[in-house]
Amino acid sequence: MKRATASHFDKVGIAIPPATASSDAPMDAPLRRRVTVGFIVAVLLTIFIGVSSWRGARRAEQDAYWVSHTHEVMQTIQRTSRHVIEAETSARAFALTGQDPLLSNYRKARVSILEDENTLRHLTADNLGQQRRLDVLWTQVNTATEFAANIIAERQRTQLYPGVRDALEVERLLDAVRSTTHDMYEEETRLLASALKELRRGSGSRGSSPYRVPVSGWACGCWRGSPSAARLTSALGHRHNSALSTPSWNSA
């Protein structure tokens, strides 16, 4: 059979489309570029959000730690003041009555005071201001406990009450201890209020606190609205309110 030619098809009325190059290629290239760029942007945005959320959660954990740390410092300050008062009042009571069981309370309080000093030194190691106050406090505590030891020794030696003047001196020494521990407690209260304020705002920064590592707002922004953030802020706020009820520094 003879191969049909183009002129033959033309004669019978069959149209043959002209052979063309790939005319869609120029249109496909910009589309592919847009899809590629969009995909890259989506991946980078996902990575950014993930890193931001992780950093925010980690900073929030650090905030919670420092708030708990401040509560521990405040409790130790209160405990120190209570132990010093207990030691002094036990010594004064022994000087007045000569009852030996009171010496047991005095000795226990002295041991507790030493433990309190070590704890406060450790807890406030990175707070220069509190370390300076602690130096002042321990000078006052040592003076008070040495005086208490002296009135105990005097009572044991003479079997007589040392007198009202010694009682007044004990009270004066205790007032000095109360004043310094009160100042330390107030400083911790200020730091705690600042930490909770920043935590509620979601930035996690403790401002000028010597304990803190500054936290950027964008890093905690993704974590701020989460249920975990709300629960943490609520729990710490409850502890904060109880801590802000300043204890009586004049009670034995």
Predicted pLDDT at 217: 34
Predicted pLDDT at 50: 83
Whether 6 maps to a domain, the answer reads no
Predicted pLDDT at 137: 96
Whether 169 maps to a domain, the answer reads yes
Predicted pLDDT at 127: 92
CB neighbours of 166 closer than 8 A, spacing ≥ 6? 92, 95, 147, 151
Instruction: Give phi and psi for 50, each to the nearest 5.
Output: -65, -45
pLDDT tens digits for range 48-107: 888 878 877 777 777 778 888 899 999 999 999 999 999 999 999 998 888 888 899 999
d(CA 222, CA 137): 43
Predicted pLDDT at 40: 87
Whether 251 maps to a domain, the answer reads no
Whether 77 maps to a domain, the answer reads yes
Predicted pLDDT at 145: 94
Whether 224 maps to a domain, the answer reads yes
DSSP string, 159-221: -S---HHHHHHHHHHHHHHHHHHHHHHHHHHHHHHHHHHHHHHT----TT-TTPPP--HHHHH
Whether 133 maps to a domain, the answer reads yes
Whether 40 maps to a domain, the answer reads no
Q: What average pLDDT is seen over the chain? A: 76
Predicted pLDDT at 27: 58
At residue 164, what is the residue type? V
Domains: count for the chain: 1
Predicted pLDDT at 211: 41
C-alpha angle 225/226/227, rounded to 5°? 125
Burial of 183 (0-12, 13-18, 19+ CB in 10 A): middle
Which portions of the chain are predicted below pLDDT 70?
A: 1-27, 202-252
Whether 37 maps to a domain, the answer reads no
Predicted pLDDT at 25: 55
Instruction: Give phi and psi for 246, each to the nearest 5.
Output: -60, 130
End-to-end CA, the chain:
125
**What domain range is 148 assigned to?**
50-243
